[in-house]
Structure 1
Amino acid sequence: MAHVIHRHGLDEATALELEAALIDAYPEAHNIAGGRSSGERGLMHAKQIIERYAAPETVFRHSALLITVNKSVLERDSVYDAVRYAWKLDPRKARQADLIMAVERGLIIGVFVADEWHPATPVHFPHTSVNREGRWGSSDVRHRRTSPSNTCDTAYRIG
């Protein structure tokens, strides 16, 4: 095994940024943890970066529950499926939210309404055979067709 040093003599902040970039660039390299801030500033298509920085900042007019779906949206069939099931949350607070917002890498990618939250168990979610202790989901999530400000269907960023 050969060890290659790409850069040396870096301050810690620069070294962490470089480490994260190299982890993204070499997917065959294995690391126990991903690079620092890779989820926020890591590997993205140019279109995603433009969309992220061009997106208007959200102005909240309703109480909202924000659910980060970075990984689950890739594992599930849709944003809808990602947002509705198996989250660590306070069900009392979730029931008080007017809107449920799916957030991916700082952008709101879906807006939903949910009235009821249930423990993530096979009793409430027959598609699973596993009790997800301490996690909750909603079987009545409904997609809301408009953006958080009710003006258009573009992505909005979290300020």
Structure 2
Amino acid sequence: MLTRFSPRTIKALASYVYVYSDPDTREPFYVGKGRGNRVFDHLKDTADTPKAAKIRHLLRHGKEPLIEILVYGLDEETALKVEAAAIDLLGIDHLTNEVRGFESRRYGRITVEQLEAQYHSTFLWEEDIVDKLMMIRISATYSDALSPLELYEMTRGFWRVDVERARQADYVLAVYQGIVREVYQVADWFPGGATFMQREEDGAWARECYEFVGRIADEPIRQRYRLKNVAHFFPKGCQTPIRYLL
């Protein structure tokens, strides 16, 4: 079992991204990046982590993890981006990585439509709006790799809102970095913690907030607002995550 690269190989590799896989199923269980002999360091890892436990299990049973270099000859920043993309593509739930890759929210998996909107989106002006809207700026934990359900759960609660005004809105727009990520038709608003399991850390403050129940809007409505630039509705220094356009 190879445990070190030669100096000539190390020079050729520069920064690289590597994958550890199960030797029987060939399913990846860890993605990393490094230089030199970093790829082999995990074979000696004694930490109490899923990755280390998986490797120790294989070695105890006389097996070796399949170690592959995904791409090499990179600079450090490019290696970080490739690592993030690989983790997003494989799905962190299927890996023993404990966190997503470097700046995966910025450079990770993203649809071509979302990417175009990020750099060249069409502005939504107030005179273009024909519905009663409520915009919600969602948190920094947003990722383009979120499932539709994850994005819905992130958007719908908990918020300090004027519930009577909120109920006037036909649609709620989920906004991240000034771009509308999804459009929801709301059935109703409820006190915080009433319609999904309250997280322990939310505490009493959540009960002073509200959450909505609804569904993704019909496609013609989505096309009207989704992936539009609404950053101008939240001017610099604006602290509130809520904007009403009723």
The bucket for the TM-score relative to the shorter chain is 0.5 to 0.7
Could you tell me which residue of structure 1 aligns to residue 98 of structure 2? none
Could you say what secondary structure the match of 1:51 adopts? helix
1:13-68: CA deviation from partner (whole Å, max 9, x where unpaired): xxxxxxxxxxxxxxxxxxxxxxxxxxxxxx83398775323111123211111010
Does 2:152 correspond to 1:86? no
Does 2:185 correspond to 1:113? yes
From the two aligned structures, give the one with the greater strand fraction. 2
Structure with the greater alpha carbon radius of gyration: 2
Does 2:139 correspond to 1:70? yes
Q: 1:125 aligns with which of 180, 195, 208?
A: 195
8 A Cα contact 1:145 1:153, kept in partner? no
Does 2:211 correspond to 1:137? yes
8 A Cα contact 1:69 1:82, kept in partner? yes
Could you say what secondary structure the match of 1:115 adopts? strand
Q: 53-62 or 91-100: which moved more?
A: 53-62
8 A Cα contact 1:69 1:102, kept in partner? yes
Could you tell me which residue of structure 2 aligns to residue 17 of structure 1? none
Structure 1 CA distance for aligned equivalents of residues 196 and 132 of structure 2: 30
Percent of aligned pairs sharing the same letter:
17
Structure 1 residue ranges without an equivalent (≥5):
1-42
Equivalent positions of 1:1-159 (< 5 A) are 44-45=106-107, 50-58=116-124, 59-73=128-142, 78-121=150-193, 124-128=194-198, 130-131=203-204, 132-138=206-212, 140-146=213-219, 148=221, 151=223, 155-158=227-230, 159=232
8 A Cα contact 1:68 1:103, kept in partner? yes
- How much does 1:141 deviate? 1.4
| Letter in structure 1 aligned against 2:229 | R
Structure 1 CA distance for aligned equivalents of residues 220 and 173 of structure 2: 10
Name the structure, 1 or 2, with higher relative contact order (CA <8 Å, separation 6+).
1
8 A Cα contact 1:62 1:98, kept in partner? yes
Structure 1 CA distance for aligned equivalents of residues 165 and 159 of structure 2: 13
Could you say what secondary structure the match of 2:219 adopts? coil
Structure 2 residue ranges without an equivalent (≥5):
1-104, 233-246
Aligned-residue Cα RMSD (Å) equals: 3.0
Q: TM-score, normalised by structure 2?
A: 0.39
Structure 1 CA distance for aligned equivalents of residues 116 and 187 of structure 2: 35
